[in-house]
Structure formats: structure tokens, C-alpha cells
Amino acid sequence: MHFILYNLYPWYGMVCVKLSFTFIIIANMYAVIDVETTGGSPAVDRIIEIAVFVYDGEKVIEKFETLLNPNRKIDPWVVKLTGITPDMVANAPTFEDIHQKLYDITRDRIFVAHNVKFDFGMIRQEFKRLGVDYMRKQLDTVNLSRKAIPGQESYSLGTLCDNLNIVLENRHRASGDAEATVRLLQMILQHQSVSRFIDIELRDGLDTTRLPEHLTPAHIEILPEDAGVFFFKDEKDNVLFVEGSKNIRRKVIQEINKAFEHEANKTMLEKMRSIDFELSGNELVSKLATIKYQRTQNPEYNKKIKPINYTHGIFLEYDADGFANLNITTLSKAVEPAVLKFPSRATALKVLNKIITDNQLYAQLNLLKVLKEKGGNLDEFRPRHNIKIENSVKRFLYRNPNFFIVDTGIHPDEHSIVWVENGVYKGYGFYNPEVTSPTVDNLKELVKEDEDSPDTQKLLRQFLRKGKEIKLIKY
């Protein structure tokens, strides 16, 4: 309350201001943090430098900074940006060496950073590798700046510092950026409405005035900041809405805010009585589980998944001379199973043209035609031809037709697996490598069967394309 009075009523006089500020020091202590990393992915990249400034609302009372040995390569663009070279971190401590110090210096303090999702995500992942569940309340000076200092051309730290006359030394080094963030935070705290902004920010963007009537902030606080699926339910425990995310709590808040802003979905908030969740271990499994639950639960406020009526297929057929070819046929007239199925002939034709173009099959088929016309050695050509045709269709969906995607599990000693066989998604499961040997047969038994669909195919293709270091077990 004193914090609010200090910002709303600065005219109360020096005595009142001083008393308010003393209360702030006791109530709010900030750990302002910046990290430099080997790259931009918390899943695979590591921290190479960290700086922490403990700020009491008036002054910095403690400071900690160090280079860190990431035990992996630093991307060249990071070296160029930060000036931190492999030689500089070769003899530096590891994150494990300093993790207790970092844990203690941020304990009972609000974690503040400019783009806090990145810095907190990197640090939380480092702790997770050590088996520690690192949780702190967070403030993002990017979001706070947008509310307290609107109208800026950009809210990058460099541009804000230039426009607000904040001295920023050692740009793109942890200590320099963290110190500038402290000065930015100090300026933000002078804004008369900052207490409400901070309250919303500390609740991961939750504005309590937007909560459904039958839910309280406590319902949100107990939600984990981990990957999984969440369910909005009515008084009869029916699922109104289901979604998956790498951060359940943050995504729940986003969906509540989104529903509040759209009149058509406000009825969902009126019907809501509870929020349930299921952990998944990682974002990919959360999205696959979401597709499954949307199909099986048919929630009222999710986009409806239409039943797929496959009518045509691409078939792998062999002519009288034993040469493979690809043809489109109506499924109702087919004798053999289709390699790929489609809801229309037009879609099948589009995919077939893509397969032929991507694999340069026009040249292959023309060469076969020439050899047949001129009496070439068909026996020698046939094996190479058939392998090329067979592989081209199998690889339309995935580069390898048979594989498991291995990712993080729900528990630290566990892995998740996503199974694809003959280009068809089969389902997902979990295993403990200390208990179960990851042989193909063992992993197959651990997978709960699921249904393949264009949505799962699209999701898996996107995941495999963008993944930096994806672990696959191929067979």
C-alpha cells in the first residue's frame, strides 16, 4: 500500500515519501539479471556470462558477475556480438560451480530482466540440468516500459537507453546490460501507475479483473510453468477448451485474456469452474496431446476438427518388367494399400507432382523410357530405379520413414519418445534409460497408440525442419 501511495501521491511530502520508500525496500527486492549465451535456444545452448545486481528500489546493495565455461562451442556471431571468445571462458567456472551462489542471491527476490523470458529460461534450463526446479517471480522491463513509457520507436535496451539518456556501457556484456536495466527499472518505478503494472506482470500478465467469476488468483498460481496440456472445465467437469504449451501457466493466462477481449468467447469464462492440466515434458508432446484431446474430447470452444474422408491415394505399382511407378487411384477401387492417402484427387496430384519434382523423377522416368525403346540393359538399371522411386514416396513426409524422436520427459531421469513408422505417426510415450534399454522393440511397447492425421504430419514436419539438435533413433 505504501508503494502505491508513493507513486500516486508524491505531493505527500518528504516524510511520507521516505516512509514509503523504506517500506518498498522491505517488501520488494529485485535481482536484475543479464546473461550472455552460446546461442538462442535454452534447450541446447549454455550461459557464458552472467551478472546479477540486487536492487532495493533505491540503490544496488549486492552484485555478482562472472564468465562461465559452457563446455560447448560458442557460435561465431555471439563471439562477434559480445567479444567473448572461447579462450576467455576456457578456465572460467561452470554453471554447476556457481549455481548455489546464484540460487541464494536471487532467493526471495523478484527476477528482473529486459526480455525476461529469455534470461530466466536460460537460467532455469541450466538448473534443470542439475535436477533443480528453479522458480522465481519475474518482471520484464520490456513489458513494463511499454506501459510506463509508451510511444517509443523501439523497446530494445539500446534504443531505450539512447532515448532516455541512460548511460549504457559494455553493450552486449552481462554486467553492462544488467546495470543499464537497473537504471531503466529505477525510471519505471517513478511512474504513477506502476504498482498495477507490476502486479499484473508478477502474475505472468494476469489481470485479476479478467478472471472468470468462479476462479481466483490461487487457481492460476498453482499451475506449473512447465510443458503440458491444460483443460478449461465447466461445473460438470466437461472440457470447454484444451490447449498445449511449453509453459502451462503463461498460456492459460494468455487464453483467459484472449477470451475476455472477444465477446464470443466470454461465455466460456462464464461457464468455467476449474482448470486441469497434464504435464508432457516438452512442447512437441504437448502439441501432439492437444491434437489427440481436441479430437477425442471435442471441446466446445476449440476449432472443430472435421473427420477426414480419404478418397484417393498414391500407389506404388510395378509394371510387367518389374519397374516401380507412382499412380493415383480412387481408394474404393484399389486392391493394394495406398502409400499416401488424400481427401481429393487434386490434393493427391499436387503431392505427386511435388514428389516427382523434388526427387528429379522426370529424368529418371525418361531414362527408363529411352532404355526400353532402345533395348538397354534393364536388369542392371532396375534396382537403382526402384530404390529411387520407393524412397522418393517414403520420404515425402519425413527424411527417414522409421524413427523415434527422443526428447526431455516429465521427470529429470526420463525421456519422451514420439514414434513414426513407414511415414505414419504411431503415438508417444516415456521411458527411463536407467530402467529400459532403448531398443526399437522396447520403445514400441512403451508408446500409447494415437491416430495419424494431416495435423500431426504438419506438426512433426515443422518440428523436424526447425530443430537444431534433434535426437533420432532410426531403424
User: How many Cβ atoms sit within 10 Å of the Cβ of residue 327?
Assistant: 11
Length of the chain: 475
- Distance between CA atoms of 110 and 132, rounded to whole angstroms? 18
Active site residue 219: no
Cell of 449: 497408440
Q: Is residue 86 classed as helix, strand or coil in its secondary structure?
A: helix
Residue 87, amino acid: D
Catalytic residue among 114, 172, 385, 415: 172
**How many alpha carbons lie under 13 Å from residue 362 in its C-beta half-sphere?**
5
- Distance between CA atoms of 250 and 291, rounded to whole angstroms? 20
> Under a CB-based contact definition with an 8 Å cutoff, are residues 385 and 368 in contact?
yes
What is the SS3 assignment for 179-221? HHHHHHHHHHCCCCCHHHHHHHHHCCCCCHHHCCCCCCHHHHH
- Distance between CA atoms of 50 and 173, rounded to whole angstroms? 9
- Distance between CA atoms of 23 and 77, rounded to whole angstroms? 45
- Distance between CA atoms of 51 and 29, rounded to whole angstroms? 16
Nearest to 3 by CA among 143, 138, 202, 189: 189
| Range list of H helices, 298-404 | 345-358, 361-374, 378-394
Q: Which residues neighbour 348 within 8 Å (Cβ) at sequence distance 6 or greater?
A: 312, 313, 314, 328, 340, 342
- Distance between CA atoms of 424 and 452, rounded to whole angstroms? 6
> Under a CB-based contact definition with an 8 Å cutoff, are residues 397 and 463 in contact?
no
Measured in whole angstroms, the distance separating CA 225 from the mean position of its chain's CA atoms is: 12
| Rounded CA Rg of the chain | 28
- Mind telling me the catalytic residues? 172
